Structure 1
Amino acid sequence: MPLSDEIAERVLSSIIDGQYPPGTALPAEGVLADQHAVSRLTVREAVKVLRSQNIVRIQRGRGTYVNTPDQWTALEPMIRAAAGTPAGGAVSEKLIEARRMIETGAALLAATRRTDEDLAELEETLDEMRTAAADGDTEQFVQADIAFHEVVMRASGNAFVPLLFEPFGRLLVEGRRQTSAVPQIRANAVRHHESVLAALRAGDPEKARLAMDDHMEQTADDLRAHVIDPRD
């Protein structure tokens, strides 16, 4: 990695950590150079990297200012910022919305493109989910849950589909840890995964799409009911 990219990463981390909140100015070029023990030219190139992603903007005569994450144009920094926000519930809801858009379509394709090996792998991960749910093993449940969805996306037969979700890995794991710690959510998830698998095994695209859509809707409902606004 070029040194300028490394400095850009460091500055981005400082932005995400809140050292330089949105709307505030970055330290002057010389100050950043001293902080990171690099030349001003390296800092200048690092700032260009951040500008290219609209993470920062130049205000002539005033300095370099931090933009809000919703203005950023690069996916990885946005995901890093979302992962670091205290508003975990809101982030998880948005993640479910994104998943719903992609995974319902993936399930529809997978219904006619899945192989016997795909079905066997889905059954295996579903068994792991059942076992983990019964044992109250949240970590194992999350891993099996995510693995199930990864198989569905691969079974879509479209190589672009799994790549669409690859950058969301960290958020997906954290979001599922948050919800899967609740026994009722684990039970709901197992039931919906069973419906998705049954539809895929039947080779019915519309049934598979609806089953995955129902699963996403249940996931959103569970998040709101048990995590965002739990009722004692």
Structure 2
Amino acid sequence: MVEFPEGAPPFNPDAEEIAEICVARGLFEADALRLGMQSDPDKLIVALGRIVAQAAIAVEKSDLETVEALDTNFHETLLRLSGNRYLLESYSRLALKMRALRHRLPSSRTRMSEAISQHRRIVDLIAVGAVDEAVQSIADHVKNVQQVLVANMARSANGDAG
């Protein structure tokens, strides 16, 4: 579970705040991808590819806790390998909220498998140098997460936990 600093107010975002967080996340990740491709594309491809491979194996084993940790690691590695400490520092201000949001996503093998497939597509596009398409895939991935979060929030508000 994600722990906020002691005394921090409860984190109960509404749909608008979820959208703002996801937009910011998408911008950070798109820029990180572009910077990572400029600084060391091979390192980016290998690191992200390894995470995707580990996650795919974890999905096969239905080890969803590991898959979720690797999902977070994928996105944070993308930022770390941007080579820009200020981008990473700024992103870290959102990271705790993004981790908390990920814990609100339904933990199902199907959803996690789809997320890992989206990650694989991003890595494949990076590997062939299709940076603009990879950036679009990141935007689509983040938008998908936003839609799932908002739908899940609406179901919870209506008392439907499933």
Equivalent residue in structure 2 for 1:120, among 11, 36, 46: 46
The aligned length equals 153
Post-superposition offset of 1:88? 6.8
1:175 is displaced (CA, Å) by: 1.5
Larger mean CA deviation between 88-97 and 120-129 belongs to 88-97
**2:153 pairs with 1:228:** yes
Q: Distance in 2 between matches of 1:202 and 1:91?
A: 35
Give the aligned residue type for 1:228: M
What residue in structure 2 maps to residue 178 of structure 1? 104
Note if contact 1:111-1:208 (Cα within 8 Å) is conserved in structure 2: no
Could you say what the CA RMSD is over the residues aligned between the two structures, in angstroms?
Answer: 2.6
Distance in 1, matches of 2:30 and 2:136, equals 7
Does structure 1 residue 214 correspond to structure 2 residue 140?
yes
Alpha-carbon offset, residue 229 of structure 1: 3.1
Q: Which has the larger radius of gyration?
A: 1
Structure 2 CA distance for aligned equivalents of residues 228 and 136 of structure 1? 25
Compute the TM-score of the two structures, normalised by the length of structure 1: 0.56
Kindly provide the CA deviation profile for residues 56-81 of structure 1, in whole angstroms up to 9, marking residues without a partner as x. Answer: xxxxxxxxxxxxxxxxxxxxxxxx43
- 2:20 is matched with 94
Structure 2 unmatched ranges of 5 or more = none
DSSP-derived class of the 2:104 partner: helix
Indicate the larger mover: 206-215 or 130-139: 130-139
TM-score under structure 2 normalisation?
0.77
Structure 1 window deviating more from structure 2 (208-217 vs 152-161): it is: 152-161
Partner of 1:103: 29
Distance in 1, Cα, partners of 2:110 & 2:150? 13
Q: Is the 8 A contact 2:37 2:44 kept in 1?
A: no
Q: Which amino acid counterpart does residue 140 of structure 2 have in structure 1?
A: D
Please state whether the residue corresponding to 1:136 is helix, strand or coil: coil
Q: Which has the higher contact order (CA 8 A, sep 6+)?
A: 2
User: Taking every aligned residue pair, what percent have the same amino acid on both sides?
Assistant: 18
